[in-house]
Amino acid sequence: MTRIIGLKVDVDTCEGMKQGVPRLAALFRKYGVPASFFVPMGKDHTGWTVKRVFTRRGFLSKASRVGVIDTYGIKTLLYGLLLPGPNIALKNAGLLRSLAEEGYEVGIHGLDHVYWHDHIRALNCENTWKILAEAASVYRQVMGRDPRSFAAPGWAINEHALAWFEKKGFVYTSDVRGTSIFLPRLGGTTFRVPQIPTTLPTLDEAVGIKANDQESLTQFFVDSLKDGINILTVHAELEGKNWTGFLESFILKTAAHGFRYERLIDIATHVGELGPLPVHQIEFGFVEGRAGEVAVQK
């Protein structure tokens, strides 16, 4: 029986890129774990998220459970408000190239993480494509090649972005919460670029709801695994900082249970060799422990 875990590392902030990513890479290196990193190509405007206290159901509750100041730091929370936001990819270009040289996958996690998360569902085709073209341009500048994969900030997506990925020949994207790899249908159109959904809860969704300490959290996540393909999204600002011990414990316990790790791009390649994928509608709904709606596999 195939038992696979894809580790999808979302980088949301410049500090997460600078401090959390090297720590995660060192952990993966220690255990020989392949992983996929997704990085915003534009500026860090984390400070803009303050308005979510008033616009997103459950945001304040989630923020208090993970400890926003301890997780992000005061300086990061001021980017876009009192401090200019640094460009995450350009400021850390050497680190991104070194990840690729070590064999990790490096994909795009939007341009401006906060803006995409909060506005993409309402954007028209012209503005969506403009954002994606700029993100791809920065990626080429940093990595020296065209991007092949994308993970939507906040699991927020629209049909115009899916059309752009298809036009540009992306291998896959990871924009939704779901249970299995599929071809997405949105806005009345079926797209040919596969979706690899996040199948497991994220740490910030589980802390204080499913468990509180490292041991019980590890057991909760291990118990959530299934035979087949599992995708766990981790964050450079959480597992790459205060919760690295949890992720190490998870890696050790899953190895003992016979699971192996693959990059998402390798998973996409293998699945594509097995035959046609099913088509599933993308809808928008709520996930326990997360503030606001996300894209979900119907």
What's the pLDDT tens digit per position in 283-293? 999 999 998 89
Per-residue pLDDT for 272 more than 90? Answer: no
> 224 pLDDT band (50/70/90 cuts)?
very high
pLDDT at residue 77, as a whole number: 75
Residue 74's pLDDT band (boundaries 50, 70, 90)?
confident
pLDDT of residue 78: 75
Q: Find the helix packing angle between 159-167 and 125-143, rounded to 10°.
A: 50
E strand segments, the chain: 3-10, 36-39, 105-108, 149-151, 172-174, 183-186, 189-190, 228-235, 260-262, 279-285, 294-297
Answer with the residue of higher pLDDT: 66 or 276.
276
Look at residue 64 in the predicted model and tell me its pLDDT: 60
Helix (H) or strand (E) holding 68: helix 68-72
User: Among 52-61, 256-265, 279-288, where is mean pLDDT lowest?
Assistant: 52-61
Domain boundaries, the chain: 3-297
Count Cβ neighbours within 10 Å for each residue of 105-141 and write b for 16 or more, e otherwise: bbbbbbbbbbbbbbebeebeeeebbebbeebbebbee
Least trusted range by pLDDT, from 43-47, 197-201, 278-282: 43-47
Architecture of domain 3-297 in this structure: Alpha-Beta Barrel (3.20)
Among 172, 205, 155, CA closest to 272: 172
194: helix, strand or coil: coil
Q: Give how far Cα 111 sits from Cα of 114, 128, 180, Å.
A: 9, 11, 27
Angle between helices 125-143 and 93-101 (to 10 degrees): 70
Residue 263 reports pLDDT greater than 80:
yes
- Has residue 274 got a pLDDT over 80? no
Six token digits for residue 184: 């997405």
Checking if the pLDDT of 219 tops 80, the result is yes
Q: Is the pLDDT of residue 269 over 70?
A: yes
Name the token pair of 289. Answer: 């422990």
